[in-house]
Amino acid sequence: GSGYLTACMATLVASDAKGANGAVVGIDHTEALVNASIENVKKSHAHLLSSGTLSFRVENAFQQPSSEETGLYDCIHVGAAVD
């Protein structure tokens, strides 16, 4: 939704003392939510986007990931809100 938690995770990845080249991917089901997240992150953490540490995309998170993405993630957070 807002990109807040995704930016928090990306901040943790970016400050990893091991110097690993980690990345955080925010996935949402509508382009409007992805665009809102990007705009929110740009306000104070644009460097996470420009460095490639953080990215967002529109996708159905409940679909089976492609074969090249299977095993790609070390951590997955699923959040939702109900109207």
Model pLDDT for residues 29-59, shown as the tens digit of each residue = 899 999 999 999 999 999 999 999 999 999 8
For residue 73, what pLDDT band results from cuts at 50, 70 and 90? confident
* Most confidently modeled range among 5-9, 13-17, 68-72: 5-9
Residues 25 and 69: beta-carbon distance below 8 Å: no
Instruction: Report the mean per-residue pLDDT for the chain.
Output: 84
Residues 57 and 26: beta-carbon distance below 8 Å: yes
Location of structure tokens 């070390």: 74
Q: What is the pTM of this model?
A: 0.80
Residues 8 and 37: beta-carbon distance below 8 Å: no
